[in-house]
Structure 1
Amino acid sequence: MTRTTGWKTVAQGSKALIIDRYGQSRIVDGPQRLFLWRAKQFDTLVRYAANQSEYLWIQHADGTVEHRPGPCVVFHNPLLIRDICVRKAIVLDGNEVLVVYRKSQETGKMERRLQQGPTQFVPSADEWMHEFSWHGPDKTNKTKLIPNQWRFTKLKVVPDQFYYNVRTVDDALVKVKMMLFYEIKDIELMLQETKDPIADMANAVTADVIAFASQLTYEDFLEQTGKLNELGSFPQLVKRTKAIGYHISKAVYRGYQAPAQLQRMHDDANERRTKLKLSVEQVEQDQEMTDLKLESELDTLKMQHKLKMEQEEHKHKLNLEELEHKIAMEDREHENHMQQMILERQSELEMKQNTNNQMVDYLRQLKSLGVDLTEYLKSKNPRPDKVTRVVTDTDKADIHLHSSSAV
């Protein structure tokens, strides 16, 4: 065996493994300058580094495996480490979940836990992830599901949808196009009850569509396809998705596809029905036009009558208002006249009262001066010298005149 002799250099940041001729080993950290004498082995160790988004997978010489999260640096010592490699940490978004398994050191049983995102996940050496294998859409035909098309470890927990075509089994083969919107609600229940929920939902919707179509004729089926947009038409789908921890939020009917001959027969029948329907609609439209014309004429007569009545009512209202105004004016004039008469009468009374008061004052003054008021008043109002009376007899037309001289 060739022995290593001479000067050796270990660079800064490096390490070297030296085994002497007696089989003893040692690790030398750089920077160093060494002189070796008949050394059995001199190897510069390979340096492995992992950053913050990586980890080191290390298999030790005793068979144990270690996962060391970054950032870290490990030198590959072949005496202690059998193999080492750098692996990426598993990055989880907020809508992703990992199903992680490990064997319990205490009980020896398998344990399962859910690792929720968002996070960077570094599994322990004794942990491994559940790998899902589900039906998935064909790359060339999104409505065709292929077994084991979807293989993944990150489980999406956001609402999703898939397309699926159902072939009905009856005298007329019809392909019904469906679109299902689903969302996972219970991951633990899903792991316990199914290993391929997409296949379960496809089988359930197929059973429901066949049960729906088998009770109807082709014509009735085409008339009632709108019910395929209602979840009430899919009892088996709703029941199965609930049993596996999923929820169907909506089922959308996207149309149908029938054989060419059947479709041609259906189109011909539709054409005949359409012509009949158009004829009936034309008759109905003509009748509606006649009804509208008569109704319009009737409305015109009603409007004219209404306008005439309104004019008469307006004229009557104007006459009534004019009469009421005239009466109000006459009442006001009469009231003003009465008020004027009252004022004049009051004025006359006041003047007469003033005259009487003046006369009383005057007579009081005369009395105070010693004047005989009786004689004064007689002189003011003398007695007439002669009085003539006219006496008539009812039975006779003779008139007698009696005269007497004043005393």
Structure 2
Amino acid sequence: MPTVLITGLNGFVAVHTALKFLSNGWSVRGTVRSQAKADKVKQLPSLLPYIQQGKVEVVIVADLVEGDFSQALDGVDAVAHVASPINLADGTWADYRDPAVKGTVRLLEQAAKVPSVKAVAQMSSWAAAADISVPFTEQIGKVYTENDWFPLTDEDAEKLVDNHDGVTQALWYCTSKKLAELAAHETRKRTGAAYSVGSVLAPMIFGPALHYGPKATGEELNKADASTSWLYQSVAGGRDGTLPPSSFPSWTSVESVAEALYKIIEKRSNERYLIYEGPFDYQQFANIARKLYPELDKAGVIPLGNPEDCPSEKGTYTLDTTKAERELGIKFDHTKEEMIKQVVDQIVALGAASA
């Protein structure tokens, strides 16, 4: 039975990725940054059956930038590098760059010393390809491919002035994801590593929050990672709740992302792949939720917003997924309705919303 190391196993994408590998006969070893996070992972209903069968192991690596991954890497066949701390609220350029870039380099340098590691899949972002400095309303008809790269450099990012309006933070994030991708390939070549390195470039990722246990509250979901919290606010934030801004109106299913990470490792690919279901905005999500769950709408659970104002329907850029479809065999057939139903059903099951 092959083993994959998944970094940040307590995260949204990581849990779905673990389940993808487990369902295909792999065992999983995951890293987390504290004992508390390890204890949380071991109680997740989605992973618990596999943990009880001895197919999931959790290892603590406290620091992504300076940590020792030797125990975590020992004997594994592949690495899915999913962990990358992000904070769009404050910080400095180094706070964005170092976990993404130095964390990637440290992990891959140590992996190069482990002969059993044959493949690495890196969780990058569409932000490493798209130019978010141009408003999406001015990019109607633009088609991004894997040949595109976010234009800013390390030097450009260093010169940015933080006006605490979220703009600089977004530019820092995009630059950090681009540099992390480049650093992964540079590290592989410099170390002469035997493993392959492929990357997943995903836009906003949505789906059930399987990284939360059965006692998760609405307050917890509302303050979770961006994918989980913004989706929660859109479908269960209260009738008068404020919908998140649809500044980046492209989405994909977390299931497509997990499949891409798995296939990159399975095929030992050295390529980058755009993963994309289509355009979206949070008003659409609220509209869909009200249609699917009239009882929750009547109870005032689902935001009203402005039902007639769906920004993405006015046009925006698209991402070309031809390469992922051809080389990884992924079918991008997940719908917003399917995803919203999965998410709201989970929220209701948790007791975080009710009619």
State which structure, 1 or 2, has the greater radius of gyration over its C-alpha atoms.
1
The structure with higher relative contact order (CA 8 Å, sep 6+) is 2
Q: TM-score, normalised by structure 1?
A: 0.18
Larger % of strand: which? 1
Q: TM-score, normalised by structure 2?
A: 0.20
